[in-house]
Protein backbone atom coordinates (compact mmCIF):
# COMPACT_ATOMS: atom_id res chain seq x y z
CA UNK A 1 0.00 0.00 0.00
CA UNK A 2 1.24 3.46 -0.84
CA UNK A 3 1.61 6.44 1.46
CA UNK A 4 -1.38 8.23 -0.08
CA UNK A 5 -3.57 5.15 0.28
CA UNK A 6 -2.56 4.76 3.93
CA UNK A 7 -3.33 8.43 4.62
CA UNK A 8 -6.74 8.12 2.98
CA UNK A 9 -7.60 5.05 5.07
CA UNK A 10 -6.56 6.90 8.24
CA UNK A 11 -8.80 9.84 7.29
CA UNK A 12 -11.74 7.46 6.83
CA UNK A 13 -11.38 6.37 10.48
CA UNK A 14 -10.68 9.90 11.76
CA UNK A 15 -13.43 11.91 10.06
CA UNK A 16 -16.58 10.57 11.72
CA UNK A 17 -19.61 12.23 13.24
CA UNK A 18 -21.83 11.32 16.18
CA UNK A 19 -24.73 12.57 14.05
CA UNK A 20 -25.10 14.65 10.90
CA UNK A 21 -28.26 16.67 10.27
CA UNK A 22 -29.51 19.27 7.82
CA UNK A 23 -28.39 21.90 10.34
CA UNK A 24 -24.89 20.41 10.27
CA UNK A 25 -24.97 20.52 6.46
CA UNK A 26 -25.81 24.22 6.56
CA UNK A 27 -23.15 25.04 9.18
CA UNK A 28 -20.41 22.99 7.49
CA UNK A 29 -21.34 24.32 4.06
CA UNK A 30 -21.33 27.93 5.26
CA UNK A 31 -17.94 27.38 6.95
CA UNK A 32 -16.55 25.90 3.73
CA UNK A 33 -17.98 28.70 1.61
CA UNK A 34 -16.45 31.35 3.88
CA UNK A 35 -13.04 29.63 3.85
CA UNK A 36 -13.12 29.25 0.06
CA UNK A 37 -14.13 32.91 -0.37
CA UNK A 38 -11.29 34.10 1.88
CA UNK A 39 -8.82 32.04 -0.17
CA UNK A 40 -10.52 33.14 -3.44
CA UNK A 41 -10.93 29.52 -4.53
CA UNK A 42 -12.91 29.05 -7.76
CA UNK A 43 -14.92 26.08 -6.48
CA UNK A 44 -18.39 24.71 -6.12
CA UNK A 45 -19.28 23.18 -2.77
CA UNK A 46 -21.89 20.49 -2.27
CA UNK A 47 -23.28 18.47 0.59
CA UNK A 48 -25.82 15.67 0.20
CA UNK A 49 -27.62 14.00 3.06
CA UNK A 50 -29.12 10.74 1.88
CA UNK A 51 -30.49 11.45 -1.60
CA UNK A 52 -31.17 15.12 -0.80
CA UNK A 53 -28.98 18.04 -1.80
CA UNK A 54 -28.58 19.79 1.54
CA UNK A 55 -26.12 22.54 0.56
CA UNK A 56 -24.72 23.95 -2.67
CA UNK A 57 -22.67 27.05 -3.37
CA UNK A 58 -20.72 28.29 -6.37
CA UNK A 59 -17.90 30.78 -5.95
CA UNK A 60 -16.55 33.23 -8.54
CA UNK A 61 -14.43 31.50 -11.15
CA UNK A 62 -16.31 28.21 -10.92
CA UNK A 63 -18.56 26.96 -13.72
CA UNK A 64 -21.32 24.50 -14.54
CA UNK A 65 -18.55 22.04 -15.47
CA UNK A 66 -17.49 22.06 -11.82
CA UNK A 67 -21.08 21.19 -10.84
CA UNK A 68 -20.93 18.17 -13.16
CA UNK A 69 -17.55 17.05 -11.80
CA UNK A 70 -18.87 17.40 -8.25
CA UNK A 71 -21.92 15.28 -9.07
CA UNK A 72 -19.76 12.57 -10.69
CA UNK A 73 -17.33 12.48 -7.74
CA UNK A 74 -20.24 12.41 -5.27
CA UNK A 75 -21.71 9.36 -7.03
CA UNK A 76 -18.37 7.58 -6.61
CA UNK A 77 -18.06 8.45 -2.91
CA UNK A 78 -21.60 7.26 -2.20
CA UNK A 79 -21.37 4.11 -4.32
CA UNK A 80 -18.07 2.95 -2.82
CA UNK A 81 -18.46 4.46 0.66
CA UNK A 82 -15.00 6.01 0.36
CA UNK A 83 -13.51 9.36 -0.56
CA UNK A 84 -13.54 9.79 -4.33
CA UNK A 85 -9.75 10.17 -4.24
CA UNK A 86 -9.44 6.89 -2.26
CA UNK A 87 -11.46 5.04 -4.89
CA UNK A 88 -9.23 6.30 -7.70
CA UNK A 89 -6.12 5.52 -5.65
CA UNK A 90 -7.30 1.96 -4.91
CA UNK A 91 -7.61 1.35 -8.66
CA UNK A 92 -4.17 2.86 -9.29
CA UNK A 93 -2.61 0.73 -6.50
CA UNK A 94 -3.88 -2.36 -8.34
CA UNK A 95 -2.54 -1.15 -11.69
CA UNK A 96 -6.03 -0.39 -12.95
CA UNK A 97 -7.74 2.65 -14.46
CA UNK A 98 -11.08 3.56 -12.91
CA UNK A 99 -12.59 4.87 -16.15
CA UNK A 100 -11.74 1.67 -18.03
CA UNK A 101 -11.99 -0.94 -15.28
CA UNK A 102 -14.86 0.11 -12.98
CA UNK A 103 -17.49 -0.82 -15.58
CA UNK A 104 -19.33 2.40 -14.76
CA UNK A 105 -20.18 5.21 -17.15
CA UNK A 106 -17.34 7.79 -16.84
CA UNK A 107 -19.89 10.42 -17.79
CA UNK A 108 -21.68 9.64 -14.51
CA UNK A 109 -18.80 8.60 -12.20
CA UNK A 110 -15.40 10.22 -11.57
CA UNK A 111 -12.86 8.79 -9.13
CA UNK A 112 -11.02 12.09 -8.71
CA UNK A 113 -10.32 13.81 -5.42
CA UNK A 114 -12.73 16.19 -3.80
CA UNK A 115 -15.65 14.31 -2.21
CA UNK A 116 -15.61 12.63 1.20
CA UNK A 117 -18.42 10.51 2.64
CA UNK A 118 -20.15 11.77 5.76
CA UNK A 119 -19.66 8.80 8.06
CA UNK A 120 -21.09 8.21 11.52
CA UNK A 121 -19.02 6.74 14.37
CA UNK A 122 -20.39 3.26 13.68
CA UNK A 123 -19.32 3.46 10.04
CA UNK A 124 -22.65 4.21 8.37
CA UNK A 125 -22.40 6.64 5.46
CA UNK A 126 -25.24 9.19 5.61
CA UNK A 127 -24.14 11.54 2.84
CA UNK A 128 -21.14 13.23 1.26
CA UNK A 129 -19.39 16.59 1.17
CA UNK A 130 -17.18 17.86 -1.60
CA UNK A 131 -15.75 20.55 -3.79
CA UNK A 132 -14.71 20.82 -7.41
CA UNK A 133 -12.61 23.43 -9.15
CA UNK A 134 -9.03 22.80 -8.02
CA UNK A 135 -6.55 20.04 -8.85
CA UNK A 136 -7.88 16.82 -7.30
CA UNK A 137 -5.40 16.63 -4.41
CA UNK A 138 -6.18 20.24 -3.50
CA UNK A 139 -9.94 19.60 -3.69
CA UNK A 140 -9.52 16.64 -1.34
CA UNK A 141 -7.21 18.48 1.07
CA UNK A 142 -9.60 21.43 1.30
CA UNK A 143 -12.53 19.16 2.21
CA UNK A 144 -10.51 17.18 4.76
CA UNK A 145 -9.21 20.36 6.37
CA UNK A 146 -12.72 21.78 6.62
CA UNK A 147 -14.09 18.53 8.10
CA UNK A 148 -11.32 18.54 10.72
CA UNK A 149 -12.10 22.15 11.57
CA UNK A 150 -15.84 21.47 11.84
CA UNK A 151 -15.35 18.36 14.00
CA UNK A 152 -12.91 20.23 16.29
CA UNK A 153 -15.38 23.10 16.71
CA UNK A 154 -18.22 20.68 17.46
CA UNK A 155 -16.07 18.82 20.03
CA UNK A 156 -15.05 22.08 21.72
CA UNK A 157 -18.66 23.20 22.08
CA UNK A 158 -19.90 19.83 23.39
Sign of torsion over alpha carbons 132, 137, 142, 144: positive
Residues 6+ apart with CB under 8 A from 145: none
Exposure letters 62-99 (e unless 16+ CB within 10 A, then b): beeebbebbbbbbbbbbebebbbbbbbbbbeeeeeebe
pLDDT of residue 157: 80
Q: What percent of the chain has pLDDT over 70?
A: 99
* Res 1 pLDDT > 70: no
How far apart are alpha carbons 67 and 46 in whole angstroms? 9
pLDDT at 95 over 80: yes
Q: Which helix (H) or strand (E) holds 116?
A: strand 115-120
Query: How confident is the model at residue 126, as a pLDDT?
Result: 97
Name the CATH topology of 3-152. Beta-Lactamase (3.30.450)
What is the per-residue pLDDT for 142? 98
Torsions phi, psi for 119 (to 5 deg): -115, 135
Task: Please give the residue that has the higher pLDDT: either 1 or 82.
Answer: 82
pLDDT reported for residue 90: 92
Domain ranges in the chain are: 3-152
Q: Is 91 within 8 Å of 101 (Cβ atoms)?
A: yes
Q: For residue range 111-134, what is the model confidence (pLDDT) as tens digits?
A: 999 999 999 999 999 999 999 999
DSSP 45-72: EEEEETTEEEEEEE-TT--HHHHHHHHH
Rounded CA separation 18/1 (Å): 29
pLDDT in tens, 32-81: 999 999 999 999 999 999 999 999 999 999 999 999 999 999 999 999 99
Give residue 28's Cα distance to chain centre. Answer: 12
User: What's the pTM?
Assistant: 0.94
pLDDT band at 154 (very low <50, low <70, confident <90, very high): confident
CA end-to-end distance (rounded Å), the chain: 37
Amino acid sequence: MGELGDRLRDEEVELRFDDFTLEDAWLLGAQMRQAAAVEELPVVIGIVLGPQRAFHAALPGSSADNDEWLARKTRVALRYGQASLAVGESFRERGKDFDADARLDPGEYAAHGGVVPLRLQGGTVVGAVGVSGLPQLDDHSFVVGQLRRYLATAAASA
